[in-house]
Amino acid sequence: MSNPFDLAILGSGFGGSLLAMVARRLGMRVLLLERGSHPRFAIGESTSPLTNLLLEKIARDFDLPRLLPLTQYGAWKRAYPELTVGLKRGFSFYHHVAGEPFASDPERNRQLLVAASPNNAVADTHWYRPEFDHFLVREAQALGVEYVDRVSIDGLTRTGGCTELSGAREGQAVRYQAGFVVDATGPRGALTRLLGLPEAEFAGYPPTQALFTHFAGVDRFAPLAGTPGEPPYAPDDAALHHVFGGGWMWMLRFENGVTSAGIAVEDRLARELRLEDKDAAWDRFLARYHSILEQFQGATPVLPFIHAPRLAYRTRTVTGEGWALLPSAAAFVDPLFSTGFPLTLLGIRRLATALSLRGTAAFPIQLREYERRTLREADTTASLVAGCYAAFPEFPAFAALSMVYFTAASYSEMARRLDRPQLASEFLLGNQPAFYAALRRHAEAAGRGEPASAEEIAADLEPFNIAGLSDPAKRNWYGVDLEDVAHGAAKLSCSEAEVRRGIVKMLQPLS
């Protein structure tokens, strides 16, 4: 057994590899352990403006310049053309009723398009995780992280301020020592198993399951929707959502011809579809929704279907003596609104702050604060998503409630672009009491089957709405209107001139 590492990270997905790089920049000796090997399939593929701003900030603050091009579609294509990517211009939603084809209407009451960027150059991306995660592992190794794959850890002991991890690699016993251990293996992961960490359900959250894989040959949906007019972006170059009573479907396109697609549904619908049947269940699902079936007429799965019999997860404990869970290992809610990446990035930044204080009296205080925020943000996300599930059958109610997310996201994005991160220090503006109270109130009302009107929700969001959202005149199509942002300067505690300078910076592609 070699000399102890300062930090051992279990799991070399996006979060584990990024934390390993950050820790190296903090001067730590880092061990990155992986049960499998790269390249490999992983779920969680869609970014957002906040994701990319957080990643850009980490890259700049910790001197990781090779990560910067990954934060914009145009820069990515120039810097890393060999890495598969998908273009994400926004969030597209279409509402479906079982047994009926999708039908557009002049008021666009069964669809919602929310742009996330003004053009392709500065757009968000879909990460093709087999290549993306492998790239990050190689970057971590280049910085001096010791990486070991195909290793199974089955024992953990803590003595004398050091943790010993024991297991096997290719039939040979292995042991590693580290001063601190972080679990980046995902929900119900390594430390949860080794330490017997108890679970805690999200209050009021419906039990959900998922079925998903990658496909080839998936048609675009916009031509099938048949909506007249010029949308704010190509609806399929986005995170495309098919919404229906009891759940929803995601579709993310990559430029190698692969489309990631899956359904997340409540247990009632999962039982009707017999989701455990996988391929047959997928066929039963398509048979219910005529227009989705038409979109998938020529599609074929390129990987086996994966059935997740329980999607949401929350632990009761996030940190302990000598260890911590990344947010992605501490809790998972749902892919809706692409919340997983920003939650993980916020956690990595907070954990990095704590690790920089190791050996001081402030270290355990920072860890406790990290745990508090991790669980609070997961609970807030679950509250909003639970309300959305309850609202799915009546699309206008869902569209109105979704403005809670989009208001928080756009406000948080601009606050950070204007160097005012304290205005949005918690995910979904949990640090803003008025907004947090409105989110919980409207989400819980939807969960009771008593959703507030669009007008009521809009009124509560108005003090934070800097993107011209909740405007009935836009008929559910929201482009990026930079004048709306400039006119909302006071909501961001700054002048219109300051906002306009921030907008200029926002429109500049990375060199």
pLDDT at 371: 98
Domain layout of the chain by residue ranges = 5-73+128-201+316-370, 85-126+206-308, 394-506
pLDDT at 504: 85
347: left (phi over 0), alpha (psi -120 to 50) or beta: alpha
pLDDT at 3: 66
Residue 1 has pLDDT above 60, yes or no: no
Q: How confident is the model at residue 481 (pLDDT cuts 50, 70, 90)?
A: confident
Dihedral angle over CA of 129, 56, 114, 223, nearest 10: -40
Task: Tell me what the mean pLDDT of segment 198-222 comes to.
Answer: 97
For 227-283, write each residue's pLDDT tens digit: 999 999 999 999 999 999 999 999 999 999 999 999 999 999 999 999 999 999 999
| Residue 302 to residues 215, 245, 257, 260, 292, Cα–Cα distance (Å) | 5, 28, 11, 10, 18
Compute the half-sphere exposure of residue 432: CA atoms within 13 Å on the CB side of its CA.
23
Task: Tell me what the mean pLDDT of segment 134-138 comes to.
Answer: 98
Q: Which of 140-154, 349-363, 479-493 has the lowest mean pLDDT?
A: 479-493
Beta carbons within 8 Å of 487's beta carbon, 6+ residues apart: 496
For 333-382, write each residue's pLDDT tens digit: 999 999 999 999 999 999 999 999 999 999 999 999 999 999 999 999 99
Average pLDDT taken over every residue of the chain = 96
CB-based burial label for 360 (10 Å; 0-12, 13-18, 19+): exposed
Which is it for the CA torsion 418, 422, 425, 428, positive or negative? Answer: negative
Residue 2 has pLDDT above 80, yes or no: no
Domain 5-73+128-201+316-370 belongs to what architecture? 3-Layer(bba) Sandwich (3.50)
310 near 331, Cβ under 8 Å? no
For 58-71, write each residue's pLDDT tens digit: 999 999 999 999 99
DSSP output for 96-147: --TTS-----TT-TTEEEEES-SSSTT-EEEE-HHHHHHHHHHHHHHTT-EE
Measured between its terminal Cα atoms, the distance across the chain in Å is 45
DSSP output for 284-316: HHHHH-HHHHHHTTT-EESS--EEES---EEBS
Q: Tell which CATH classification among 3.30.1330.10, 3.30.360.10, 2.60.20.30, 3.30.9.100 matches the domain 85-126+206-308.
A: 3.30.9.100
The first and second tokens of residue 351, run together, are 């954990």
User: What is the chain's alpha carbon radius of gyration, rounded to the nearest angstrom?
Assistant: 22
Helix (H, G, I), strand (E, B) or coil at 358: coil
Structure letter (DSSP) for residue 46 = B
Residue 203 has pLDDT above 60, yes or no: yes
Beta carbons within 8 Å of 21's beta carbon, 6+ residues apart: 62, 64, 67, 136, 139, 140, 143, 145
- Global pTM value: 0.97
